[in-house]
Amino acid sequence: MTMPATTVPDAAIDSFATGIAGTVHLPGSPGYDSLALPWNVAVPNRPIAVVEADSAEDVVATVRHANEHGLRVSVQATGHGAVEYEERGLQVNTSALRELTISASGAVRAGAGLVWKDVIDAAAPLGFAALAGSAPGVGVVGFLTGGGIGPVARTYGVSADYVTAFDVVTGDGLLRRASATENPALFWGLRGGKGALGIVTAVEFDLVPLVTMLGGCLYFDGADAATVLQRWAKWTATLPEQATSSVAVIRLPALPGVPEALAGRVAVAVRFAWVGDPDEGRRVLAEIESAGPIIFGGVDVMPYSAVGMIHSDPVDPMPTYEAGTLLNSLTGEAVDTIVNLAGPDADCPQIIVELRHLGGAISREQGGPSAVSHREAAYSFLTIGIAAPPVLDATRDHAAEALRALTPWSEGTCLPNFHACADPVEFARKYDTATLDRLATLTTAYDPSGVIAYGHIVRAAASIPR
């Protein structure tokens, strides 16, 4: 069902606002801009109203109100992974849902407003690690519903595999619990289907027993990019599952907060995490350490709670454009192609051109079937550039050129948590055909009126002839 773009009478908004515990923010009111603004500030986001939910019941009321008035509903906590929707609607902000409990066995219940740092810090004194992504400031729910591949993923696998239950408000306005035994089809789709099947208000998942690990990042001069990348490709081909690594060619501006050794130059960052005997990890690392002079950084035993230091992803909101693909191999010719696109002599507008080593436990489905697709991929490739004039066009063109150049080694696919987009053709690359079709069917079953905005992207992608 296609809903026309519309507005809501002021009286209807006023009546709705007085019936919930949270706050309804209209354009121009205090709080609207800060709540509506996504982390990626390049994504336009001007909903009719932002509902700052105080409880799951507020989310239920919002979805039912949207059904009554022919509106769509989107959701945001931190605003990472934001996409531009065709129609304005209501936006639920879940950042106030901050419930957190951790059992003695490492079972977590987390509200949708929590970020990974909240859980990591609470779990560490208990001897557990939360399988976060590279950026601890990202929301827990958004990361888990997108699958989730973090700095120790080759050892432990996809983070969504550790989810045991969701509380979710579906498009028909019902608060449901989804687990392997309750609404199992919904549970299947919520693990990997991103926000297509409803608005998650809480998630339950298991931690892993991990306190310290060998980890860090080695930075090489950009002049050594070809040597480092070729060595990294051969090195990762034989890495045991105790190791997870990624490599990135970076171009950081000379701004406050950027280390002097990296500012205003091309550098190559080799990220490394090792779960197991540190001495064995150091022996494994030695092969890549010798690829060239190290200009910054280091690898040592570290508390897992400092996992964000491995990638040192940016914290502040910024306008970004991402493009990515999954690779089935990383040959010497593929590395040469990447160096030509992003090396020190390339006219490259990207801030980061990254490769992540996949495989290991990522390739094995744990915790039952889920909507997580493309586990067989060997590497992920990602470009991140500034999505603002005067470099936006150059950033997009270069990213498209990079994906075309890597076609001989590409799966033609990508991951839900990377390269967020609303384009159905691009979105379809995130899932295999059977998974995408099933997700589309489930959106119809749980959201017959098409209230959940993200569900429309899934339906549109599934309708593309394949």
Percentage above 90 pLDDT, the chain: 92
Q: Residue 452 above 70 pLDDT?
A: yes
Peptide bond into 9 cis (omega under 30): no
- Confidence at residue 400, expressed as pLDDT on a 0 to 100 scale: 97
Give which of 192, 5, 209, 213 is closest to 89, Cα–Cα: 5
| Three-state DSSP state, 49 | strand
DSSP 180-194: SSSSHHHHHHHTTST
- Confidence at residue 156, expressed as pLDDT on a 0 to 100 scale: 98
pTM over 0.75: yes
Summarize the confidence of residues 342-356 as an average pLDDT. Answer: 98
Q: Residue 49 above 80 pLDDT?
A: yes
Look at residue 158 and tell me if it is in a domain.
no
DSSP H helices in 324-448: 332-342, 392-405, 424-427, 433-446
- Confidence at residue 15, expressed as pLDDT on a 0 to 100 scale: 81
- Confidence at residue 8, expressed as pLDDT on a 0 to 100 scale: 65
Beta strands 265-274 and 212-221 are antiparallel
The confidence band for 437, taking pLDDT boundaries of 50, 70 and 90, is very high
Please classify residue 212 by burial: count the beta carbons closer than 10 Å to its beta carbon, then call 0-12 exposed, 13-18 middle and 19+ buried.
Answer: middle
- CATH of residue 263: 3.40.462.20
- Confidence at residue 7, expressed as pLDDT on a 0 to 100 scale: 61
Please give the span between the terminal C-alpha atoms of the chain, in angstroms, as a whole number.
22
- Spatial strand order in the sheet of 73-76: 23-25, 49-52, 90-93, 73-76
The crossing angle, in degrees rounded to 10, of helices 225-236 and 278-289 is 140
Q: Residue 2 above 70 pLDDT?
A: no
- Confidence at residue 415, expressed as pLDDT on a 0 to 100 scale: 96
Helix (H) or strand (E) holding 352: strand 352-357
Look at residue 15 and tell me if it is in a domain.
no
Beta strands 163-169 and 320-327 are unpaired
Helix (H) or strand (E) holding 457: helix 453-462
Q: Residue 205 above 70 pLDDT?
A: yes
More confident residue, 178 or 9: 178
Look at residue 264 and tell me if it is in a domain.
yes
For residue range 382-419, list pLDDT tens digits in order.
Answer: 999 999 999 999 999 999 999 999 999 998 999 999 98
The whole-angstrom separation of Cα 44 and Cα 38 is 8
Summarize the confidence of residues 83-99 as an average pLDDT. Answer: 94
Cα R_g (the chain), whole angstroms: 22
419, two tokens: 């390269």
For residue range 147-165, list pLDDT tens digits in order.
Answer: 999 999 999 999 999 999 9
The whole-angstrom separation of Cα 72 and Cα 94 is 16
The confidence band for 3, taking pLDDT boundaries of 50, 70 and 90, is very low
For residue range 230-287, list pLDDT tens digits in order.
Answer: 999 999 999 999 999 999 999 999 988 899 999 999 999 999 999 999 999 999 999 9
Domain of 367?
212-424
Helix (H) or strand (E) holding 145: helix 140-145
The answer to whether the CB of 216 falls within 8 A of the CB of 304 is: no
- Confidence at residue 419, expressed as pLDDT on a 0 to 100 scale: 87
The whole-angstrom separation of Cα 63 and Cα 454 is 13
Beta strands 294-303 and 212-221 are antiparallel
Mean residue pLDDT across the chain: 95
Q: Residue 352 above 60 pLDDT?
A: yes
The whole-angstrom separation of Cα 170 and Cα 368 is 22
Q: Residue 466 above 80 pLDDT?
A: no
The whole-angstrom separation of Cα 413 and Cα 432 is 9
- Confidence at residue 322, expressed as pLDDT on a 0 to 100 scale: 97
Look at residue 58 and tell me if it is in a domain.
no
The confidence band for 5, taking pLDDT boundaries of 50, 70 and 90, is very low
Look at residue 69 and tell me if it is in a domain.
no
What is the chain's length?
Answer: 466
The confidence band for 1, taking pLDDT boundaries of 50, 70 and 90, is very low
Summarize the confidence of residues 88-107 as an average pLDDT. Answer: 97
Helices (H) and strands (E) in the chain, counts: 15, 16
The whole-angstrom separation of Cα 388 and Cα 385 is 9
The whole-angstrom separation of Cα 217 and Cα 270 is 6
- Confidence at residue 4, expressed as pLDDT on a 0 to 100 scale: 39
- Confidence at residue 343, expressed as pLDDT on a 0 to 100 scale: 98
Summarize the confidence of residues 106-120 as an average pLDDT. Answer: 98
The number of beta carbons lying within 10 Å of the beta carbon of residue 86 is: 13
The confidence band for 465, taking pLDDT boundaries of 50, 70 and 90, is confident
Look at residue 410 and tell me if it is in a domain.
yes
The whole-angstrom separation of Cα 144 and Cα 81 is 12
Give which of 176, 177, 196, 146 is closest to 452, Cα–Cα: 196
Give which of 305, 310, 301 is closest to 278, Cα–Cα: 301
Amino acid type, 40:
N
Q: Could you tell me which residues come within 8 angstroms of residue 127 by beta carbon, excluding any fewer than 6 positions away?
A: 209, 211
Look at residue 229 and tell me if it is in a domain.
yes
Total tally of structural domains belonging to the chain:
1
Look at residue 170 and tell me if it is in a domain.
no
